[in-house]
Amino acid sequence: MRRAQENAVVEMLDIAPVADELAARFVAGGHRLYLVGGSVRDALLGRTGSAGGDAPRDLDFTTDARPEQILGILEGWADAVWDTGIEFGTVGARRRGYVLEITTFRADAYDRVSRNPTVRFGDSITDDLMRRDFSVNAMAVELHSSPGERRFVDPYGGLAALANGVLDTPAAPQESFADDPLRMLRAARFVSQLGFTPAPRVQRAMTEMSGQLARITPERVQTEFTKLILGAHPRRAIELMVETGLAEQAIPEVPAMQLAVDEHMQHKDVYTHSLVVMEQAIQRETDGPDLVLRLAALLHDIGKPATRRFETDGRVSFHHHEVVGAKMTRKRLRELRFPKSVVDDVAQLVYLHLRFHGYGKGEWTDSAVRRYVTDAGPLLDRLHRLVRSDCTTRNRRRAAALQRSYDSLEQRIETLRKQEELDAIRPDLDGNEIMKLLGVPPGPLVGKAYKHLLAVRMERGPLDRAQAEAELRRWAEEHGVAP
């Protein structure tokens, strides 16, 4: 029965011809070659980019051949070969648009202080699969010299786990996570990307060992967290991180939001509210997953615990939490080594997310609308989505009123944009014109005059040439500058 199931699995896999070509060369050299890990998992899931998806593809293999023997087998066949990972037993190659990684069986030992193994080569596919992170990644297909000669290898129940959507480890999870604590965060990432549920023993081990994540460098944590946020189910993954204590290690400001009560009294806490906002922001994405928007939605209220105040009327307030939150966001994302552009954009969205609530019933002046657009800059579209997503009230009348108010603001922005080319607001005189009219050389004085004209432009809208020159002369006279 099991053999029949294995044969059926092999028949399901649309394995690329290049894999069979490579296998024929290994067999001719007296070695075995296995398609392994994520390549097999994704092929069984039918995910693009796997062995059966659309090109270009990455394929992972393992073999009993040693690295120097792998190099010999690839010689004259691969379009390109690189050996940057050869000390870990991995040789990379490219063949007809496929990127191939071939790794010698491993039987590593870990010092459990860092996550760096003492590399030891093995001789058994079963032992090699035992050292992998999760059983769904511990499946392999042995390839032979002809396409019909294949064998499915699944010693740790990966196929059943895949079918049931369960994330388990080949070895005891405590052993696996002690070897490499990053695997705990990778578990949360697979929850987000694949919708899996950790096995009870895996979640227990994550909870017991969450402090071990401190062994991992911020760069590696950021890489996994980014993949997690960009997955299909980031809320489930964030909840898992908070429940197990991983979030305390990676991004402690998120679980800290559980301490604050939402001022609208519509959620258990600000933490839950922020997860809902993130989900609603995701629903508003139009061009695929947006890292900046998702991070801003998750973090927009992280300043609330630090600004929480209990008012005399019994309500809870969080005055200026957007200012505090922007600073906290910048600090945390920098510590996680996010790119500067991501840090700046997310922090600015957090800083601006409350600005709209001053719009009220539409009494903003055109100047205020101009400032809103100018301060948002290229983030304006994301700011629109974030602000709309931040409405989580269950009061339908209030929610509808907020959406109508924002509709009104967007309409005014569009009207002003058409009238004034709002996206590129500049003073009505440039630096060269200022220097010529005032008869001054380049220097701080020109910058001050420029800033003044920009403020006037923001307040009054476009000026014609004569008005702009008169305003500059008035400013110069007030500041003792004789044109």
Both tokens of residue 173? 């999870």
**Among 241, 266, 268, CA closest to 254:** 241
**Among 210, 154, 201, CA closest to 173:** 201
Indicate whether 435 pLDDT > 80. Answer: yes
CATH architecture of 2-163: 2-Layer Sandwich (3.30)
Indicate whether 458 pLDDT > 80. Answer: no
Indicate whether 299 pLDDT > 60. Answer: yes
Question: Between the CA of residue 358 and those of 320, 354, 438, what are the distances in Å?
Answer: 13, 8, 39
Q: CA 445 to CA 199: how far, in whole Å?
A: 67
- Integer-rounded Cα radius of gyration of the chain: 29
The residue behind tokens 């809320």 is 235
- Place 113 in a pLDDT band, splitting at 50, 70 and 90: low
The segment with the largest mean pLDDT, out of 82-96, 97-111, 115-129, 442-456, is 82-96
Out of 135-139, 181-185, 239-243, 265-269, which region has the weakest mean confidence (pLDDT)?
265-269
Q: 438 versus 208: which is more confidently predicted?
A: 208
Condensed to tens digits (0 to 9), the pLDDT of residues 301-354 reads 999 988 888 777 777 778 889 999 999 999 999 999 999 999 999 999 999 999
Q: Please name the amino acid found at residue 214.
A: A
Residue 49 is predicted with a pLDDT of 46
For residue 166, report the phi and psi dihedrals to the nearest 5 degrees. -110, 140
Mean pLDDT of the chain: 87
Q: 268 versus 180: which is more confidently predicted?
A: 180
Q: CA 240 to CA 230: how far, in whole Å?
A: 16
Q: CA 58 to CA 375: how far, in whole Å?
A: 42
Residue 147 is predicted with a pLDDT of 61
Q: Domain residues of the chain, as ranges?
A: 2-163, 165-250, 285-425, 426-478
Residue 269 is predicted with a pLDDT of 80
Out of 15-19, 184-188, 247-251, 421-425, which region has the weakest mean confidence (pLDDT)?
421-425
For residue 145, report the phi and psi dihedrals to the nearest 5 degrees. -70, -20
**Among 253, 246, 190, CA closest to 216:** 246
Q: CA 481 to CA 445: how far, in whole Å?
A: 9
Residue 364 is predicted with a pLDDT of 83
Out of 80-94, 359-373, 467-481, which region has the weakest mean confidence (pLDDT)?
359-373
Residue 75 is predicted with a pLDDT of 95
Contact 130, 170 (CB under 8 A): yes
Out of 198-207, 228-237, 299-308, which region has the weakest mean confidence (pLDDT)?
299-308
pTM of full prediction above 0.85? no
Indicate whether 257 pLDDT > 60. Answer: yes
Chain-centroid distance of CA 461 in Å reads: 39
Q: What percent of the chain has pLDDT over 70?
A: 87
Contact 483, 476 (CB under 8 A): yes
Class of 165-250 per CATH? Answer: mainly alpha
pLDDT, average across residues 219-243: 98
Q: 419 versus 335: which is more confidently predicted?
A: 335
- Place 53 in a pLDDT band, splitting at 50, 70 and 90: very low
Length of the chain: 483
Residue 266 is predicted with a pLDDT of 44
Q: CA 374 to CA 352: how far, in whole Å?
A: 11
- Place 421 in a pLDDT band, splitting at 50, 70 and 90: low
Q: What percent of the chain has pLDDT over 90?
A: 55
- Place 361 in a pLDDT band, splitting at 50, 70 and 90: low
The segment with the largest mean pLDDT, out of 51-55, 115-119, 300-304, 471-475, is 300-304
- Place 124 in a pLDDT band, splitting at 50, 70 and 90: very high
